[in-house]
Chains A and B, each alone.
Chain A
Amino acid sequence: MSGLMEEMVAKAIDANVPLNVQLDLTYRCNERCVHCYLDHHDHGEMTTAEIKHLLNEMADAGVFILTLSGGEIMLRRDFFEILEHARRLMFCVKLKTNAVLIREREALRIRDLGVESIQVSIYSHRPEVHDAITLVPGSLKRSLAAIRFLKSQGLKVVIANVLMTENMRDYQGVQALAAELGVECTLDPTVTPMMDGSRSTLALNVEENSLRQVFRDPSLVGDVEAFCAIAAKAGEDDLEARPCSAGHTACYVSPYGDVFPCVQFPLPTGNVRKQRFADIWRHSEQMNEVRGIRLKDLSCSQCTHATSCSRCPGLAYMEGNMRGPSTQDCEKSFARTGVPSLNLLSRKSSSAKSTASLVQIRSVPALTGAPA
């Protein structure tokens, strides 16, 4: 983040302004990615008029960066009408898409409307791997053709790659592909639970050994020694820090108008079909609860990794406690440093205790000669 942006974020926190909002226009999608956290059925998406009204409210509330995502945004027939309205309101618009439906004509319109950047999901440089993740034959070819169209219009494109068991060996190939295309590339090693709470997708997360290798790849993390170092113990100032931007300068709105602190934080705080966006942002009890949490309030605030952990409050919430640890991030801290977090140690200890109990229960009948 640039120094000036940091200043603006600090100012937005003081003024309680939602600087950054992700709005999902639809959960419908033309791909069926194996790791996706969404239900792709339409349960009553906001209409064009409702979305335009919401955008007006967001502009009035001070939203500056608007990320339009999904599902697949291009499946909304009114996508360009919405985008045009958003740009008329002078939002800094970022798009997230699989780009399968973007051709030269769409790329030209996106450029004319002054979109800041387009993030395109690419999981492998090999069609057999990428298409096996999206479950759509030919999807890599079409997404790459779209990236070329977008680049030819001078647009900023970012490839987003999610690292999982299926594509673990291909991230360097994706990096090379991004370099060849002249676009940025990001890598996220986190597969999240589904929005309905199902944890079935978590089996796709890469194993600890693989994660350890990734965290020691200088092409990804830069200075490996610094990246893998154990952070200094949290000081008083650190303990007053906000866990992340969710609810402080950022929030998420679903295609049905539900407002959440973040796309990964499914705590309902209100619905824009029933309340004004600004009222939800400022007055929702749930939003204010999230906003009130500081590092010192977390059950893991005394953990060795407290100041360097990537702990996601939304994942912690999905585990059952928004003030607790997010085990997936504990595992990342462990893979990065080799030092287990407080949470992992306590899990290990309770697992050892329960194993001892099981041994005791099973051994007693054996000692007494009772049938097993």
Chain B
Amino acid sequence: MSKLYLARNPRVAARSLDGEMMIMSGRDSTLFTLNKTATILWQSADGTTPLDQIVEQRICVEFEVDSAQALLDAEILARDLAGHEILQLSEEPIPTSRGARP
């Protein structure tokens, strides 16, 4: 299975409000709030850490779930976030602008 890399879409606006991540779509200003798993994906989406590593190191530790199932679920979630143009996905590392911090 090929690696999947995640990066934050630089066109969105984002802020953590009392532990909950708010994201405003750059496409149509739709507001989203991310659940815990989606927030972990967002925070870890640095363009260089592959999804399987994020799942192993962050999601499995946080939720104590089976890694194979967690990876499947995380990929579905990542593709959903990409569909809303919140994340960018690629099978190659994604160069990102330096210094971005939500």
Using a CB–CB cutoff of 8 Å, the interface residues on chain A facing chain B are 2, 4-5, 7-8, 11-12, 14-15, 17, 19, 59, 62-65, 87-93, 114, 116-117, 156
Contacts and interface: CB of A to CB of B under 8 A. Distances in A.
B15 A4 contact: no
Contact of B17 (A12, A59, A89): A12
22 contacts: A4-B31, A7-B33, A12-B18, A15-B17, A19-B17, A59-B101, A62-B17, A63-B15, A65-B13, A88-B99, A88-B100, A88-B101, A89-B100, A90-B12, A90-B13, A92-B24, A114-B11, A114-B13, A116-B24, A116-B26, A116-B29, A117-B29
A90 B15 contact: yes
B83 interface: no
Nearest to B14: A90
Interface of B: 10-18, 20, 22, 24, 26, 29, 31-33, 97, 99-102
B22 A90 contact: no
Interface SS of A by simple majority: mixed
Contacts of B16: 62
A244 to B, nearest CB: 20
Given A8-B17, A64-B17, A92-B24, 17 more contacts: A4-B32, A8-B33, A14-B18, A15-B18, A19-B17, A59-B15, A62-B15, A62-B17, A63-B15, A64-B13, A65-B13, A87-B10, A92-B13, A114-B10, A114-B11, A114-B26, A116-B13
A117 B22 CA distance: 18
A263 B13 CA distance: 23
A91 B32 CA distance: 15
A102 to B, nearest CB: 20
- B20, B22, B33, B97 — which one has the most chain A CB atoms within 10 A of its CB? B22
A100 to B, nearest CB: 25
A11 B26 contact: no
A329 B78 CA distance: 49
B17 A17 contact: yes
A41 B34 CA distance: 45
Nearest to B13: A92
A68 to B, nearest CB: 13
Contacts of A5: 31
